Structures are given as structure tokens and as C-alpha cells.
Structure 1
Amino acid sequence: MADNVFKSHDIGLRAQKKILSRMATKNIAKTFIDGTTASLLDNLYRLCKMHTGNKAKAEKLIKNIIKIVIKIGVLHRNNQFSDEELQKAELFKRKFQNTQLSIISFYEVDFTFDLPYLQKSIAESQVALKSIVQPHLTEKSLGRIDEVFDFFGEEALLETAFRPDSPYREVMGKIVADINAAMETGDI
């Protein structure tokens, strides 16, 4: 009997992840997330679109972020993470916060940008996140994580974004403001 309950729960959890990931659009996400996070996603979309010149690729990246966040939220809400994974989540949180603080600093203080440091920080966040969710997500979902982190760790994007005369300067200012606001409220 207990075995059937577990399987039903497992199927229900998979269904939730599947349904929510299929609904992952910016407009749907805005119903689940606060204004600051929605603004951050909108500005990340603008940055992606500016950098790639490709609306579809930018939409796909943002959709992947939304899907990842929703799936992790479903797993967390359903207490699917072990104590060890929760400890790893704290490590990820610290690494990701360090990455965010670096982005803020590199934007606000001209000529402090350190590409190898930022790429390493992004890569460490990626590894930390995957170590938490790998037992719970499909290869396709793990691939989405890689796509997102690989894009934002791309040398050409980072080099251009943090130049004082960057064509992305305005949108980077908005992203930094959103990160600051989200960190203050504890949203990211």
C-alpha cells in the first residue's frame, strides 16, 4: 500500500513539473513571481536579445530560466530535497550571491571587471545548482541549466556588457538595480 502512495506522489510531482514547465512564459511567470523578479527577467530578455540579435533565442533562454525556477520550486515545496541537498542549496545560494555581488561591483566601478573571476563564479554556481537538482530533473532540464549558465558565462557577452562604453550599459544598469532590489528583499 505504501508503495502505491509513493508512486502516486511521484507521478503527481512529475505531472506538476511537466504542467508548470509547459506554462512557462513571461506572462504566466509574472503571476507566480514578484515585480522585481519579473523586471529582472524582462531586462535579462532585453540583454539576451541585444546580444544575440535573435528574439527567439532570447525568449528561449528566459523560458528556460522560468522552467528551471518553477521545477526547483515544485521540488522544494514538495520536500523532495534531502538534508544533504539542502546543505548544497545553501552553498549554491552563497556562490550565486557572490556572483550577483560581483556583477554589481563590476558594473558600478569602471575598470574593475575581471573576466576569469566572473566566469569561474558563474561556472561554480552552475556546478553547485546541478549537484542539487541532478537526481530530480531530466537530462533535458539539466541541459536547460547548462544553456542558461553557458550563455551568461560567454566571454563575448561579459566583455561587452562590462565595458564602460558598452552598448548594453542602459540595460545592465536596470539589471543591476533589479539584482540590488531582489537581494534587499531576499527574492534572489
Structure 2
Amino acid sequence: MHLTGRPANTLIVFDFETTGLSPDLGDRCIEIGAVLIEDGRIKERFQHVMNPGIRIPLFIENLTGITNQMVKDARKSGEVMQEFFEFIQGHNLVAHNAAFDERFLRAEFKRIKCRFDGGVACSLLASRRLFQQAPNHQLATLADYKNLPSQGIYHRALADAEVTAYLWLSLLDELQTRHQLSTPSFAFMAQLCKTPKHQLHKLLAAVQHA
């Protein structure tokens, strides 16, 4: 079975803090946070600040609290990313606004000549389909809207990954309680993320009657 055929309640949720918006413009990761979910329960955590080899802009220091001084003696990005690559083996991934994090993930892996073959799904896109009544779909808003466990800390990688993990579990619970869809596959969740809202009922009906 390909990884994406596995249940959506066993995977790794991850988040990066970075020096900017795009690895194509030379931006690098400065912190990785990740949470392993197994059978719907958080089982393990992974977190490291890393030295990106470039200066962190003042704006990012103020946003994240991660300073140039903090990363000066931290492990180099390549070393941390090699360890993260080993941590995620055999798992699919989830991130909030995954397009952003996946770009950095693949750019950092390319630097160390590693290739990730699992799937990457987006909790932001999934929440837009399943939590359509939310005021907006920013992570902090959704945490309040669904009363998710939260430290009230944002723009730090592990804290964001943990809230995203609880959000993902809330999305799966929504599918089970409102749509009678228990233990959907990761492939289904990835498809749900791409399905236009007006076609969502067709997708759910097709799975319910499969």
C-alpha cells in the first residue's frame, strides 16, 4: 500500500519558522516543530532551532522571538533536517497552509540530497471545507472556534504544530460525527482539500456509499 492509502489518524504534523517567505529567494528554516499522531493520539514530538547560515531579519526576530544570537550556536540546518527526514519515514505529513511549509521542506531536503515520497495535506484547506462557519481559517482563530488545547503561543514551530495536530483530529472527528465517515484515508483527506466547496457533498456521499 502506498503511504497515502494509510489512515489519516496516523501521521506527522509539522511546522517551520523561516527567515522569510520563499526558499527560491534564499530564505531558510530556523526552527522545525513536529508532532507524531498514532491512531488519533499524540505520541511523540520533535523540535529544534537551527542555524540557517544567514542572518534572521529583525521582523522575523520580533515575530517569532528566535534571534540571531539563539541560532548562532545551534546545530546547522542540514544536520537537523537529516534527523527530521529520519523521523518522518513511513508517514504522511500535515501542515497548516501546507504549500508554504512544503516548499521549505523540499528545498531543505534537496540541500541534503533527500527525497520525501509521502503525501502532504493542508489543515487550512480542509478546515475551509469542513468548518465553513468559522470567522476565518487562521490557526489562532480556529483554535478559539473549536476550543482546541493551546498554549496561546503562535509563530513557534512546536506550539503551532501541536495546535495543528489538535485541529486535524477535530477535522477527523467532524467527519465521523456529522458525516458518519470513520477513519478516512490520508488520500481521501488530500482529495477533500482540493474539492470545491459546492462539490463537497458529492465527495462525502460517494465515500459514504462506497
What's the TM-score once normalised by structure 1's chain length?
0.29
Q: Point out the structure with the larger strand share.
A: 2
Q: Point out the structure with the larger helix share.
A: 1
What's the TM-score once normalised by structure 2's chain length?
0.26
